[in-house]
């Protein structure tokens, strides 16, 4: 006779696999609660999934689904560009990270720069560093949603990325990065 707990774990694994197949790999506690119902049941399910390696906690109330491709070791991470908008609201990948996204630089920044209107300390997740740059609400504009391998990325648009690079070259690879970026992006600018 199959134990009820094993059935529950199997059903949960199928639900996680289904979510992965729809390419929604990051979710919130509230989204999970809408699925499982009451908060205590949701918390127990998420705790069990985390212990088994099916999900990883990104931040309070935000989780990453570990896909089946991670193998039995369940080692997996996600692009910092995809994770960034889930770590603070509002948020947009900006500065040097956005320059790299828009192919304005060949250099890969070692951390992900995130522009926001709220204060948040830098954090490290899965070996990736995130640095949050706080700007006034009036300077948080030029944000767009893009796709990166069928996953949502919130990034400053090309024009805003160049404005930010000019305003804060220290966060954009230095002033020497600005001129090649302008040349690369010139045909795509509005």
Average pLDDT estimate for 151-173: 93
Report whether pLDDT(112) > 70: yes
List, for residues 32-72, the tens digit of each pLDDT value: 888 888 899 999 999 999 998 889 999 889 999 888 777 77
Would you state the pLDDT for residue 152?
Answer: 87
Of all residues in the chain, what percent are helix, strand and coil, respectively (each to 5)?
Answer: 45, 20, 30
Which pLDDT band, with edges at 50, 70 and 90, does 165 fall under? Answer: very high
Query: What's the CATH class of domain 4-70?
Result: mainly alpha
Contacts of 183 (CB under 8 A, 6+ apart): none
Please name which of 123, 106, 116 lies closest in space to residue 154, comparing C-alpha atoms: 116
d(CA 54, CA 66): 5
Please name which of 85, 122, 105, 67 lies closest in space to residue 182, comparing C-alpha atoms: 105
d(CA 85, CA 153): 8
Return the DSSP state at 98.
H
d(CA 106, CA 184): 11
Q: Where are the domains of the chain?
A: 4-70, 80-188
Strand locations in the chain (E): 26-28, 55-59, 62-65, 92-93, 111-116, 123-125, 128-134, 143-148, 151-156
Would you state the pLDDT for residue 54?
Answer: 87
Report whether pLDDT(79) > 50: yes
Average pLDDT estimate for 114-129: 94
pTM for the model: 0.79
């Amino acid at each position: 006779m199959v134990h009820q707990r094993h059935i529950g774990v199997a059903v949960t694994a199928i639900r996680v696999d289904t979510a992965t197949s729809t390419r929604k790999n990051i979710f919130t506690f509230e989204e999970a609660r809408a699925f499982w119902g009451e908060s205590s049941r949701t918390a127990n399910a998420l705790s069990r999934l985390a212990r088994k390696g099916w999900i990883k906690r990104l931040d309070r109330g935000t989780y990453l689904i570990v896909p089946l491709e991670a193998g039995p070791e369940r080692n997996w991470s996600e692009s910092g560009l995809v994770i960034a908008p889930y770590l603070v609201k509002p948020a947009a990948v900006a500065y040097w990270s956005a320059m790299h996204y828009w192919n304005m630089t060949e250099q890969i920044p070692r951390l992900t720069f995130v522009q926001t209107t709220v204060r948040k300390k830098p954090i490290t997740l899965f070996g990736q560093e995130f640095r949050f740059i706080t700007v006034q609400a009036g300077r948080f504009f030029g944000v767009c949603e893009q796709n990166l391998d069928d996953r949502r990325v919130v990034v400053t648009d090309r024009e805003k990325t160049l404005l930010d690079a000019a305003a804060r070259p220290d966060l954009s690879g230095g002033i020497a990065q600005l001129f090649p970026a302008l040349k690369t992006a010139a045909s795509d600018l509005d």
